[in-house]
Structure 1
Amino acid sequence: MPHSRPQSVVVIGAGVTGLSTAFHLVEKGVERVVVVDKGSVGGGSSLQAGGIITMLMPTETEVRARSISLDLFERFSRILDGYHFHQVGCLNLATEKIFAGAAPLRDMWRRLGGRFEVLRGGEISERFPDLAAYESDIGVLDLRSGYSEPHRYIPALRNKLEDMGVEIREREAVVGFDLHNGRVKGVVTDSGAIETDSAVCAVNAWTNHVLSLAGFRTPYKNFVHERFVTQPFPEPPRLPAVNDHILNGYVRPTDDNRLLLGTSVDNLGSYEMHGPDFDVSELDPHPEALPFLKENLVRRAPMLEGAGWDYHTVGLISLAYDVKPVIGPVPGVDGLYVGAHFHSGGFAYNPVSGLLLAEHVVDGGTRINSELYSPARFGNVDTEAFLAAPIMHDEMGVVRH
């Protein structure tokens, strides 16, 4: 059956995935794009994000996708007023054992255009004086990567969308879909119905509260994630973005001379929302998160010793059953698409996840082989049993950015 180009699309969710999707839909010629959110723009976990990106991922699909994200972050730096992609590199730290087992990955990264260097022990501190390393530590420095400041990126992208004619509706909750013969004809909100040819669900941790309105659910779990930001240092910290797989955390500089740190501390259990009205402001900080970071990451960044702590935020990360993102058409409902469950890498994915979603909607397929992300892949999974079962974070695996 030939794919029909939509004239109007409703994007549900005004986080980075939804905003990126809206951008690409307009660029691909969709005449009317409406973004609706039950809260405010970026008010889910997008503004809580660490903002780190690396393209050194475990599968070919993910590497190709992240490479496109980097292309787009570079482009957004040129076209979004007030936003800059900080291409300081991303250092992925690992033990000798992990590094040795990843030789095939390094071959794949090179084949797909990855540019990286391997640093060992003291070479890490020589390159980045504010990082400490043991002789047994090995770092793979992804040279193209780095970080974004979510609080600058999100308003810049919103302003661009409004200039492009996108209608953004805040504090308007989706309560249903208008379906005819298994096809989306409208999105129903608490303010009324919006006629549309297609709809994209981009609400991440809230996904099943929206998709269940159309009779579909994905198998995923949410986990509490915290990030901490120091007070400014007198001089810019001399380090890149760091994914530390040895000490279980991450650290990066900020654009105002601070350090931002994060962890998924103490192998927390999954977090169950009480309902669609849940807000991240209801999340409680874990009492051991900051002590854990102080004890562990001060060994990586000694300048943290005695540092003042300015603020800290609590959000949710969302992991699908197989810990891969979910991007594509919803099975059994024509004209409905979903982009969600990006582990802790939702910000890193957002430029390309929005592009892939727009390609699904407008073209009926994507420029890269994205079957890995297909929502239809869970056909043999007992979704309801998975959703009902308690699970610990470590059981699903920790994936950084």
Structure 2
Amino acid sequence: MSQSSLPTSASVVIVGGGVIGTSIAFHLVEAGVTEVVLLERGALGSGSTCRAAGGVRAQFSDELNIAIGARSLEAFTRFRERPGQEIDLHQVGYLFLLSTQDDVAAFERDVKLQNELGVTSRMIDVAEARRLSPLTDTTGVLAAAFSPDDGHCTPESVVLGYASEARRLGAVLRTGVTVLDIETKGDRATAVVTDRGTIEADTVICAAGAWSAEIGEMAGVDLPVRPVRRQVMFTEAMPDLPPVVPLTIDFSSTFYFHREGRGLLLGMSDPDQEPGFHLDYSEEWLPRLGAAIETRAPSLLDVGLTPGWAGLYEVTPDHNALIGRASDPANFLYATGFSGHGFLQAPAVGEIVRDLALDREPFVDVGPLGMDRFTSGAAVRPETHIV
């Protein structure tokens, strides 16, 4: 079979070649699954993954997300050995700056839960927050939460590591392939139809990120995922930049920054952003970003800024992921809707989906992340750490 041709059948077809899809492919073939095929419309990681800010952490507000984040963080620390790729991991910590009593109380509860689950986060006072992140103006900050094991790494390198090892172990990864339909018969998905041929499949896995609703619809599965644009900018080189800069988040505004080369990467969410596939970079967010910088890191106003890029969050109604197996078709699995957390949760999600596909019990019960939570009234507590 040539590098460009598609197999006519597979045990597993994965739709989506970002960090989630490549992680799933790697974990499946590592476990001995043969005939794994991954399909990606663009280049690997060209959707949301390579436009991510690259943060990795275990600071979340509920037990399930903490467990998934911690498991993934552990995998990132060993990525050089397994699957075998340098990812430029910087464990400089995540620093959440808190400006209201309600936020302080919520983070105190969250840190207590995180500590019970083995995460080394802690509440700190304003003076320590300023010492850890000296670019920050802490006026109005009441307290902060800090976890020294968190940090950031390079998304493209993570995708490369998973994809290269998956290929070495026998997976077929094809780019430039558009999925047109998913054929079903009875309660089974039987084939994936593409613009380059049809692949009969025993199992189909949707890892298509912001495009997952369309893939789900092809199989008759309602995946409530909406795309929402998020943007980043960069500073010019800063000669006096401290060697260690934690990933610093002003929780009230969602403004954040971390070191990127000799400068900083900056970002924040835009509550006025309309959902949709808006992949163009827009300057409409700049007044809000400028106000946040002036409040929380005013020295950056004297540094040159350059536009970065626009990417897509894949947002669910409660900002929690969708992970599970559909009831119909029963061989259709999904891992999507991560609402900005897909990159940092990808290693653990690859494990989880591998186990679901093999009818094994994952290391955590992801039943609460099934899509039926939105129709059964059993929705997960909305995730608050959504930066």
TM-score under structure 2 normalisation? 0.89
The one of 285, 290, 294 aligned to 2:290: 294
Q: CA deviation at 1:354?
A: 1.7
SS at match of 2:358: helix
Q: Deviations over 1:341-390 (max 9, x none)?
A: 11111111111122211111113432212122112323347xxxxxxxxx
Q: Which residue number in structure 1 is paired with residue 5 of structure 2? A: none
Q: Distance in 1 between matches of 2:141 and 2:12?
A: 52
Amino acid at match of 2:352: L
The one of 247, 256, 259 aligned to 1:250: 256
Q: Distance in 2 between matches of 1:162 and 1:124?
A: 44
Does residue 1:400 correspond to 2:386, yes or no?
yes
Q: Which residue number in structure 2 is paired with residue 27 of structure 1? A: 30
Q: Do the aligned partners of 2:318 and 2:383 also contact (CA within 8 Å) in 1?
A: no
Q: CA deviation at 1:299?
A: 3.7
Q: Which residue number in structure 2 is paired with residue 277 of structure 1? A: none
Q: Distance in 2 between matches of 1:123 and 1:45?
A: 34
Q: CA deviation at 1:7?
A: 7.6
Q: CA deviation at 1:161?
A: 2.4
Q: CA deviation at 1:35?
A: 0.8
Q: Distance in 1 between matches of 2:142 and 2:116?
A: 25
Q: Do the aligned partners of 1:124 and 1:132 also contact (CA within 8 Å) in 2?
A: no
Does residue 1:159 correspond to 2:164, yes or no?
yes
Q: Which residue number in structure 2 is paired with residue 278 of structure 1? A: none
The one of 87, 92, 110 aligned to 1:83: 87
Amino acid at match of 1:19: T
Does residue 1:220 correspond to 2:216, yes or no?
no
Q: Distance in 1 between matches of 2:162 and 2:79?
A: 8
Q: Which residue number in structure 2 is paired with residue 388 of structure 1? A: none
Q: CA deviation at 1:266?
A: 4.5
Moved more, 291-300 or 26-35: 291-300
Change (3 A) 1:7 1:367: farther
Query: Aligned runs of 1:2-401 on 2, under 5 Å?
Result: 8-79=11-82, 80-97=84-101, 98-134=103-139, 136-237=141-242, 238-254=244-260, 256-271=261-276, 273=277, 283-380=279-376, 399-401=385-387
Change (3 A) 1:18 1:150: same
Q: CA deviation at 1:333?
A: 0.8
TM-score under structure 1 normalisation? 0.86
SS at match of 2:183: strand
Change (3 A) 1:44 1:247: same
Change (3 A) 1:191 1:9: same
Q: CA deviation at 1:54?
A: 2.2
Change (3 A) 1:153 1:290: farther
Q: Distance in 1 between matches of 2:52 and 2:303?
A: 22
Q: Do the aligned partners of 1:235 and 1:257 also contact (CA within 8 Å) in 2?
A: no
Q: Deviations over 1:99-136 (max 9, x none)?
A: 12443322211111110232222221223323331263
Amino acid at match of 1:110: N
Amino acid at match of 1:301: A
Q: CA deviation at 1:189?
A: 1.1
Q: Do the aligned partners of 2:61 and 2:383 also contact (CA within 8 Å) in 1?
A: no
Amino acid at match of 2:109: P
Q: CA deviation at 1:397?
A: 8.0
Amino acid at match of 1:40: A
Moved more, 289-298 or 118-127: 289-298
Q: Do the aligned partners of 2:60 and 2:385 also contact (CA within 8 Å) in 1?
A: no
Q: CA deviation at 1:208?
A: 1.4
Q: Do the aligned partners of 2:320 and 2:383 also contact (CA within 8 Å) in 1?
A: no
Change (3 A) 1:208 1:96: closer
Change (3 A) 1:300 1:157: farther
Gaps of 5+ in 2: 1-8
Q: Do the aligned partners of 2:183 and 2:193 also contact (CA within 8 Å) in 1?
A: yes
Change (3 A) 1:205 1:352: same
Q: Distance in 2 between matches of 1:270 and 1:322?
A: 15
Q: Do the aligned partners of 1:343 and 1:399 also contact (CA within 8 Å) in 2?
A: no
Regions of 4+ moved over 6 Å? none
Q: Deviations over 1:45-84 (max 9, x none)?
A: 1111011122121111111111111111112133433323
Q: Do the aligned partners of 1:131 and 1:239 also contact (CA within 8 Å) in 2?
A: no
Amino acid at match of 1:108: L
Q: Deviations over 1:9-29 (max 9, x none)?
A: 111000111011111111221
Amino acid at match of 2:120: R
Moved more, 81-90 or 157-166: 157-166
Moved more, 178-187 or 366-375: 178-187
Change (3 A) 1:96 1:295: closer
Gaps of 5+ in 1: 1-5, 274-281, 382-395
Q: CA deviation at 1:300?
A: 2.9
Moved more, 22-31 or 361-370: 361-370
Q: Distance in 1 between matches of 2:10 and 2:219?
A: 21
Change (3 A) 1:400 1:321: closer
Amino acid at match of 1:17: I
Aligned length: 372
Q: Which residue number in structure 1 is paired with residue 4 of structure 2? A: none
Change (3 A) 1:347 1:77: same
Q: CA deviation at 1:158?
A: 2.5
Cα RMSD for the two superposed structures: 2.2
Change (3 A) 1:397 1:337: closer
Q: CA deviation at 1:199?
A: 1.2
